[in-house]
Amino acid sequence: MLHTLGDLDLEELAYRVFVERLRREVMPYHISERRLRVRDAILHVTFGYQTLEDARRSVREHDLKRVRHFDRLFGVDREWIYDLCCRIIDAYAWPSGFTESDLWSEFPDLDDIER
């Protein structure tokens, strides 16, 4: 069947395969890592080692490290990969105030950190 596809169709198929492999093979690691970070932050707040604001900031900094990692991997074409990763991560149920979109809007000052 592949021999019947034109160049654009092959490119589209390759892109879809890449995105699906990223979703299945790469993102579970990053989601699990983020889940552990959120869990640890909540434990630290529960036992009084950290304020809720500091815990949320810590998770936001963790998210920025992931973004920097993908920046290194994908360079100038990172927008689509970043959007895809955000959609995958936000599809999971996070505690109130710990979704990635919440943290992006709550800590805009961290955007200025050197990537």
Q: What is the pLDDT of residues 21-64, one digit of tens each?
A: 888 888 888 889 999 999 999 999 999 999 999 999 999 999 88
What's the whole-number mean pLDDT along residues 97-108? 81
What value does the CA radius of gyration of the chain take, rounded to a whole number of Å? 17
Is residue 115 over pLDDT 50? no
2 pLDDT more than 70: no
Query: How much is the pTM?
Result: 0.72
Domain ranges of the chain: 28-112
What's the whole-number mean pLDDT along residues 7-27?
82
User: Cα–Cα distances in Å, from 71 out to 40, 64, 79?
Assistant: 26, 10, 9
